[in-house]
Each structure stands twice: as structure tokens, then as C-alpha cells.
Amino acid sequence: MGRTVTRRYNPIRDTELDVGVVALVHSLQSARGKVLNGRRCILIEYLPKDERWKVQIQDESTTTALKVGNIKLTRRPVATHPEYLEMSLWYTQQCSAMLAGRKLEKKYRNARGVTFEDDEPYYRARKFVELLDHCTDGYEPHQTIMHGDIARYYSVVPETSQSCDATMGNLEYTAGCIALSGMCYGRAMRAMDCGDGRPDIVVFALLESAPVSLSVLLSHVVSTHYIGPESGYDRVRDDFRSSRLKMNIDDCELTPDQCSKDYCNAMKGPLGILYSLHKLISTPGRLDKILFGRIEKHPLFSKTLHRLFRLAARESKGTQDGEELGYTARCILMHMADMDGQMDDATFKSLTADRCSWDHGIQQQLLVKDDITSYEELLEFLQELLKDTSA
């Protein structure tokens, strides 16, 4: 007992100052500036005339222009983990204490993804994003123990429902996405009022670990592992494995549609994050557009849209995944296309009201739509779609 393993996170992170990159403020000399030193900021726009970056600093209500010499990239995180057996013993003791109504000493704060409910929100968000980060050097996903604050989110989707086609790494991604979604909404997926209602801090955390965190987030939507009763896995095993067995995470293919309750709960994690970005429309730095801009440049962009379109189409079919996720998918598509002024019930009803028209073409059109490569193309397509449904 007592040994630790050092695990360094994937080195594929932002290495140059660019739009959407998270940096640290430093070396400001004014009284106001000294307060900002050490704070994180997101780069919004480069101002060549002034040789400054327009940035959004955490918890600031306005944007700020900083010289290049006053911002620097954040350092990669390094975590030390106790041995697997030690973590297992502590987890067992924690469960026993919870059942008995006792509190257990908080431990392993440096371990991967471990945080606690009363920790500071920015810290919690960054720790949850650790679960979306690939690890190297001694990291064994199947030996990870979910404990601390993440345990409440991890249990939203039972491990037994995912064990057919998932590694512990997949379970980490699922738990991390659900936890971040809970922070965005202000409530966890099990209606426990323990969230923060702060999508802005989730954007900061995701971008600080980009591009790898965005790859995991989008691949969770595009190439979702089988989540459902084990009895149904034999029938679809080959379809899922042929879609997901890719050397590069950015090359993954769209996996088959799923409609189990646990699948819907799992997807409420990544979709919940994307949906909650509409809360940032009125923020000065438009952090929603910053994150969407990074997503638009990602290799999985078109396939992510394809999944959203399929969920919208399946809503009209009345499947469980469509009923539970279709509305959210349509909201995300509208927001991505900057059609927020049309995000009302009338607009969405017009997309599903006429079941006959959907059955005779529109539904099938969405099910196969996977060739959109920009938000401009998305806007044109949605406008045509709304025109067709209102004709």
C-alpha cells in the first residue's frame, strides 16, 4: 500500500496561440492587471494593428485586449495515482460509509478525475475533463476507480449496461461528459441539485485540454459504443465493432442507432454540453461561438451533424432515442447555424408535424445527411428544410 504511479496526459494539446486556445495571463504591472495575473483566458481575436489579443478572462463580464507578452499557454497536467488495490479498498470503505450514513475522509485529490462536491467550480470542471483526456505512461483504463464527486455521475449509466462493448476508458468518457453536462445545467442527471449552472467554465475546461478533449467528446457522439442489455449485443456486435475499430480516433465511423434507456442517459452528457451553449449567447466573448468554431474545424464535424440529423429524424419515427434526444439535437443544429431567433416551439413543430411528408422523403433525407462541412452549409440546408415543411 502507499505506492503511486505517475500518469502524464496525452501531449497532443494546443501548442500555439490561436483563436479558441486557453492561455494564462501574466506579468501585468498595473493595479488592475495584477489582479488578473494567473487567471485563465480564451483567445477570441487577434488585433494586428495593436499587436494584441482580444481575450475573455474567467469570471470577467467584459473582454480585454492583452499584449502577446502577457499571455502564455497553460502547462500540461500531471497526476499521481495510488495503486489500484489501494483505491479499490478506499472505494469499498466509502460505499460502506455512505450506506451507514457516515462521512469518509476525502482522499486522492491528485488522482485522475477525482474531485468533491464542495470543490471550487473551475477546479471541478478541469478534473472532469481529465476523464476525456487520453493518458500515456503507465495508465491502465481498466484499473481506474470512479470515486469522489464523479461517482454520482458514473452511476447514471450502469456499468453492466456498457460492459459488452466498452473499456474502462469508455466508461470514463461517459462519466466525464455527464458530469460536465450536469455542471452546465446546474443539476445532475439524476435530479440531484449539485450542479453549477456554469457552461462558461465547462468551455474553458474543454478548450484548455483541446484538441484531444474535443476528439473524445465528438467521438462519443459519433462512434458510441453499445450501451444496452447484454442479451441484445450478440445481434449487433459485428456492426459496432466494424464501425469503431479505427487506429485514429478522428477516423471513426458513425455507429448504428441505439434506443435503450441507458444509451439515452449516456448521450445526455455530450449533447447536454452542446445544448447548454445557448446560455452563452449574451456573453461578451460569445464562448458558444468560440467552441463551435473549434468543432467546425474538427475532422468529426460532419459526422457529428449526421448523428444530430439522425436523432431528429428518429424523433418523427417515435423511437425512444428520438423522443428523448431529438428535440435537443434540433436545438443544437439551430444554434450551430446561428438560427437562435427561430428557436421556438413553432419552428420545431414544423419539422415534425407532417408525418406523411417526413415518411415520403424528409426523414430519409436526414438519416443519410452526412456531407455538410461548414455552418454556412448547415444554415442553407436548414432553411431549405423549413421551407419544405411549411410549403
Q: Is 163 helix (H, G, I), strand (E, B) or coil?
A: coil
Convert the pLDDT of each residue in 144-193 to its tens digit: 667 777 877 777 888 788 777 777 778 888 989 999 998 998 654 444 44
The whole-angstrom distance between residue 192's C-alpha and the CA centroid of its chain comes to 20
In a shared domain, residues 102 and 205: yes
Planar angle of CA 315, 364, 357, nearest 5 degrees: 75
Instruction: Output the 3-class SS for 314-369.
Output: HHHHCCHHHHHHHHHHHHHHHHHCCCHHHCCHHHHHHHHCCHHHHHHHHHHHHHCC
In a shared domain, residues 111 and 210: yes
The verdict on residue 354 lying in a domain is: yes
In a shared domain, residues 155 and 277: yes
The verdict on residue 2 lying in a domain is: no
In a shared domain, residues 230 and 349: no
Q: Quick one: cell of 193?
A: 441539485
Phi and psi of 173, rounded to 5°?
A: -60, -45
In a shared domain, residues 250 and 135: yes
Domain final residue, candidates 36, 51, 73 = 73
135/48 Cα distance (integer angstroms): 37
In a shared domain, residues 271 and 294: yes
Residue range(s) defining the domain that contains residue 28 = 22-73
pTM of the complete model: 0.90
**Number of structural domains found in the chain:** 3
Q: Which amino acid is at 190?
A: R
In a shared domain, residues 68 and 100: no
Estimate the crossing angle of helix 168-185 against helix 199-208, to 10 degrees.
140
**In which band, very low, low, confident or very high, does the pLDDT at 362 lie, cut at 50, 70 and 90?**
confident
Q: What local confidence, expressed as pLDDT, does residue 137 receive?
A: 54
In a shared domain, residues 292 and 334: no
List C-alpha distances in Å: 181 to 177, 185, 201, 274, 285: 6, 6, 11, 9, 21
The verdict on residue 9 lying in a domain is: no
308/369 Cα distance (integer angstroms): 10
In a shared domain, residues 295 and 308: no
* 375-377-383-387 Cα dihedral, nearest 10 degrees: -160
In a shared domain, residues 67 and 91: no
Convert the pLDDT of each residue in 75-104 to its tens digit: 876 666 677 777 778 778 877 877 787 776
Convert the pLDDT of each residue in 293-333 to its tens digit: 999 999 999 999 999 999 988 988 889 999 999 989 988 99
Domain final residue, candidates 299, 316, 344 = 299
The residue among 60, 55, 198 whose CA lies nearest residue 125 is 198
User: Mean pLDDT throughout 232-241?
Assistant: 84
The verdict on residue 320 lying in a domain is: yes
In a shared domain, residues 374 and 308: yes
In a shared domain, residues 174 and 45: no
